[in-house]
Amino acid sequence: MDFEAQTEINGLFNKMKTYMKPSSGEWRVPDPNVALSRSPEKHCRLQALKASLNAVKNQLSDKNVQVWHQHTNSTNRAGKVMAAVRSAANAEVCTQAWCKFYEILGTFDLLPAEALRSGELNTVHLCEAPGAFVTALNHYLKTAESTRYCDWSWAANTLNPYHEANGGGTTIADDRLIANTLPWWFFGSDNTGDITTQNVFKPATSKAGNSEVYVVCLSYNGKEAVRPLLSKLIRNYGPRLADREALFPSSVIPETFQKQHEEVCLHFHTLQVETITENLQLFEGMRPEQRQRLDLIRDRTAQEYLQRFQVSFLPRSRWVSRNTVTPACCVAPVGRPLNLKSQTGSFNERKTLNSLSWRDRILRGRHAAWIQSHCAEAAGAACVLEGPPSVCQVDSWYRVVGAALPAVRNSPFCEVGLLNRLNEALMGADVDWTRVPPCGSCHGAPAASVLADVAGLWKPLEGQCLVFGDRSAWGPCEGHLGNVSLRFSAAPSFPEGGSAGLHDGDPRYQRRLLTCLVRSLQTLGSGDALLLPVFSALTRVTAAAVLCLHVCFRWLTFRCPPPSGAVGALLLCGGFCPPAAGRILPVLTDLLDCMARLEGEADAPQVLQFVPMEELLSRGLSEFLHSLNTEIVQQKLHRLMQ
């Protein structure tokens, strides 16, 4: 390799600027009395750098994001590092974040020397999802000679990917590590997860064209040095803190610090502008010799990374996670491909799309054809969940109570992009689903067909079938089940008007649904069947109700849309198991008592969960819930589009 290429590779791993404290000691924390006392000021020179960078970035606004990403991936000098690490190291949750943090660990003495001497290391990871920094640190500790015998304890915080009120725009849905290590994650008392020597370093594995840098701080002086200021910040902490006042007036920030900070910003500004400019030039066309040289540097950069940071193999048995739970992000509805969140089109096209009505956005979106398609027959026949599950730790179930949900913006049991489309359609509209007519061109499951399906799965065909619904829709079909008698009860009514964005998260609806469930478990006999309509199963509470049915019946399936013509789906359950129900009933009756007490409180909190996420994510159930919710959301959007 030529000297110039090797110099370029070395430069990739040395994109760093260090703040140098003057020996005069003038860099001190200012008097807390001047903190948060002045309006924010704009720093002219830094604002000029920002405007300059944005002018360069604006040249990307008309580029198709997928085509541009493919191009920049091919020009990224460190673009082959991740694949090399996966192959050579067997890295857990091997993402760009993993490679970046491993690079930071190999570049700086980040781990406290005292902790390594004592053999006990405790780490706290903030904003950590999906967990690649945790797994990178685990890999480093267990393969590096100086740390492999260190006793390591960790805890992490991030926005809870399972909390229904956390929007998809701010929450990382990738729960590959979280699903299998939940006891190590702290989501706060409200269960949302919202807590809302210095070196500035850009890892080689951070894409050169973006603005990302890491501020790496070493040798912490401890809280005592800043306790008065810390107390004031805690008292004033809130989401608008940075908008109201400046942390410090510029007059008390040393000129020497401001000058160094400008130099740091200029350094990384220059690197980013150079990369974007080069990518734009290469986007117009790349000569064969340019492509050949890039490929050589990419290959050599991957080798340099492995050698420089001594990346070695770690067996799966020493990973953080044992991978016993299937993460929600890896589940696809039965018969449908997994749609991972991705941007399409150019920035300008996406901006135009956002200005359109929700209908037009759907018509131009990737779900358009599917949402507009009419159903020839009710969905769900291919989804049969056989039970009871071999293992169900009812004794380990617990309740999570938090602030009442303002809306259901997220669900581990539905593709977030599809749920977003429905929420956009419901935004600002007081939809009463009892008044939204079914589509005249769609064909749901006739009552006779549903009963025939129940008969086909029910062996022996005897006993009773409890139906929650209007007798008039089912009465003429009673003969379809031979010796089986149909018994009817009122269905759980839909969520009240004004709460359309809550979906099945309305606590009143949840209570009514659970009351129907308890009544069923109390009155059915061995081998009996149950037909129970559900509005959706997006929340952890309603999903857990479906799990209870799975535990108490030998088979569970659904039909969407249901024979009644209402929105939602009809759950078909058969082969009732009284011993299993006996274990579930005390949990549900206690849960209903708790819900009743909470409804009477001011600013009433809400039960958010009563079954551990590990059980709700169990294979089979999770796929069933995804399929159920996907069909329900499609059906609702289809009706709203008519």
Rg value, the chain, Cα: 29
**Burial of residue 253 (number of CB atoms within 10 Å: 0-12, 13-18, 19+):** middle
3-class DSSP state for residue 149?
Answer: coil
Pairing of strands 529-534, 569-576: antiparallel
Residues 607/507, Cβ–Cβ less than 8 Å: yes
**Burial profile 402-432: b = 16 or more Cβ within 10 angstroms, e = fewer:** bebbebbbbbbbbbbebbbbbbebbeeeebe
Kindly tell me the sign of the dihedral angle through the C-alpha atoms of 348, 65, 129, 411. Answer: positive
Residues 346/63, Cβ–Cβ less than 8 Å: yes
The reply, when asked if residue 497 is annotated as ligand binding, is no
Task: Give all strands of the β-sheet with 214-217 in edge-to-edge order.
Answer: 16-18, 198-201, 214-217
Q: Residue 468 forms beta bridges with which residues?
A: 489
**Burial profile 476-514: b = 16 or more Cβ within 10 angstroms, e = fewer:** ebbebbeebebebeebbebbeeebbbbbbbbbebbbbbb
Contacts of residue 485, Cβ cutoff 8 Å, sequence gap at least 6: 463, 464, 465, 478
CA–CA separation, 12 vs 244, rounded Å? 39
Residues 426/630, Cβ–Cβ less than 8 Å: no
Question: Which helix H or strand E contains 100, and what residues bound it?
Answer: helix 96-107
Question: Which helix H or strand E contains 371, and what residues bound it?
Answer: helix 368-372
State how far Cα 100 lies from the chain centre.
Answer: 21
CA distance between the termini of the chain: 64
The reply, when asked if residue 131 is annotated as ligand binding, is yes
Which residues carry a binding-site annotation? 131, 152
Which residues carry a binding-site annotation for S-adenosyl-L-methionine? 131, 152
